[in-house]
């Protein structure tokens, strides 16, 4: 039995943050009913790269049931009310204030269903001057200061994945799990509010404290680290790049003696502590470059591994797909979809000896008729009603 078997989640969701949270609940055995607008979640149309399907949608929506509802219609809102009355969890990430205007705000729902766990995900939260402001991932990266510390000294750069959405989805997921545990103990439901700004703001902890107490924010350093050295990419003699990171003085001493074979650098006052190495980073990189420039990347990695110094090769996404560690640990599964079987990675945190749910990706409204019959509508009535709902 999977941990969330018997839990029903109704999610009025779109895009990334809420679907990411609910997919993880589905992975652990929850039944997730995805409520889509008549044309479907707009993330279905972001691209067509996965055998005609959207890469975002494929990633975020396996193992769910889809019901299509036009919530501008009262008959559709009644269906959603019935669904929520049977649910353990209700998630929504509509535009600011939209759920409340439709009659599905947290206060109204919790009054009718005290045991319900209600999770609302938004860009900036449901109060404050930004509550009505639209929020997309890049814009939240800007507002949290993430872009100001990411990129090169000349060019701020966004993170290459939807990190604000992912952060919000992760806190929604963990918050719902916490609320389910509390309900198991007390019988009480809960209202959760997760904003992308606050979720990503938590992940900005290091630059926040660095700036608050250091008087200035960390500079943009490309693939290097603003506060640790050596930490980042180094070119080898064969033209390939190896990344490494030194975390303490014991590692620095081993690095000098066994990797660089330059023991005299241990006592060099320019490099006698991490702050000194950061201050003299250019000279430090010159010293490392002299040694690495005479070695192949394989030789450098061999020395680093033998010495126990953390390192990595710069891999492309294609090379990550073929990563030997994923293959050795059996991390790939097949998932069904409207386009046929697709490869998917197992979720990273599942209880020992459990196989997570890896169900198919639904078509828009694929389960509308079956869900309506489950709600008590006769088969013919359900068929007619399904046409009216979308």
Element (H, E) at 35: strand 31-36
Q: Given the DSSP bridges, would you call strands 89-92 and 231-235 parallel, antiparallel or unpaired? A: unpaired
Half-sphere exposure of 238 (CA within 13 A, CB side): 10
Residues ≥6 apart with Cβ < 8 Å to 33: 8, 9, 10, 11, 64, 65, 66, 67, 83, 87, 367, 371
Residues ≥6 apart with Cβ < 8 Å to 12: 35, 71, 80, 90, 91, 92, 93, 94, 99, 104
Candidates 266, 227, 262, 237; CA nearest to 250 is: 266
323 is catalytic: no
Long-range contacts, 162-166 (Cβ 8 Å, 24+): 162/16, 162/137, 163/137, 163/200, 163/203, 164/135, 164/137, 164/140, 164/196, 164/197, 164/199, 164/200, 165/15, 165/16, 165/17, 165/20, 165/137, 165/196, 166/16, 166/17, 166/20
Q: Is 92 helix (H, G, I), strand (E, B) or coil?
A: strand
Can the peptide bond before residue 61 be classed as cis, meaning omega within 30 degrees of 0? no
Give 153's DSSP letter: S
From 225, 285, 323, 367, active-site residue: 225
Order across the sheet with 241-245: list the strands: 231-235, 241-245, 310-313
Catalytic residues: 225
């Amino acid at each position: 039995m999977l941990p969330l078997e018997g839990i029903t989640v109704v999610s009025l969701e779109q895009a990334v943050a809420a679907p990411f949270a609910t997919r993880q609940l589905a992975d652990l055995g929850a039944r997730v009913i995805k409520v889509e607008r008549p044309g479907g979640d707009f993330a279905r149309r972001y691209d067509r790269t996965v055998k005609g399907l959207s890469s975002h949608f494929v990633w975020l929506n396996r193992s769910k049931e889809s019901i299509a509802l036009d919530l501008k219609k009262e008959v559709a809102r009644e269906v959603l009310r019935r669904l929520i009355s049977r649910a353990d969890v209700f998630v929504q990430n509509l535009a600011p204030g939209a759920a409340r205007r439709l009659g599905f705000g947290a206060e109204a729902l919790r009054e009718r269903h005290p045991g319900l766990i209600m999770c609302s995900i938004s860009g900036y939260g449901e109060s404050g001057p930004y509550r009505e402001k639209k929020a997309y991932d890049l814009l939240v990266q800007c507002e949290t200061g993430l872009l100001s510390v990411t990129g090169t000294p000349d060019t701020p750069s966004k993170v290459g994945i939807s990190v604000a959405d992912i952060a919000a989805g992760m806190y929604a997921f963990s918050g719902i799990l916490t609320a389910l545990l509390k309900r198991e103990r007390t019988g009480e439901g809960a209202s959760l509010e997760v904003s992308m700004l606050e979720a990503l703001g938590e992940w900005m902890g290091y630059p926040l404290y660095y700036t608050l107490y250091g008087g200035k924010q960390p500079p943009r350093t490309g693939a290097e680290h603003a506060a640790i050295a050596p930490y980042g990419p180094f070119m080898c003699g064969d033209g390939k790049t190896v990344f490494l990171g030194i975390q303490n003085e014991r590692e620095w001493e081993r690095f000098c003696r066994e990797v660089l074979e330059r023991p005299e650098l241990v006592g060099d006052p320019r490099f006698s502590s991490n702050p000194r190495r950061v201050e003299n980073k250019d000279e430090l990189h010159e010293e490392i470059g002299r040694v690495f420039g005479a070695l192949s990347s394989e030789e450098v990695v061999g020395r680093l591994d033998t010495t126990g110094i953390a390192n990595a090769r710069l891999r492309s996404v294609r090379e990550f797909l073929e990563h030997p560690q994923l293959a050795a640990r059996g991390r790939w599964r097949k998932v069904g979809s409207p386009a046929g079987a697709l490869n998917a990675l197992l979720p990273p945190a599942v209880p020992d000896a459990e196989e997570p749910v890896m169900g198919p990706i639904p078509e828009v409204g694929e389960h509308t008729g079956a869900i309506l019959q489950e709600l008590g509508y006769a088969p013919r009535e359900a068929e007619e009603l399904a046409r009216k709902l979308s």
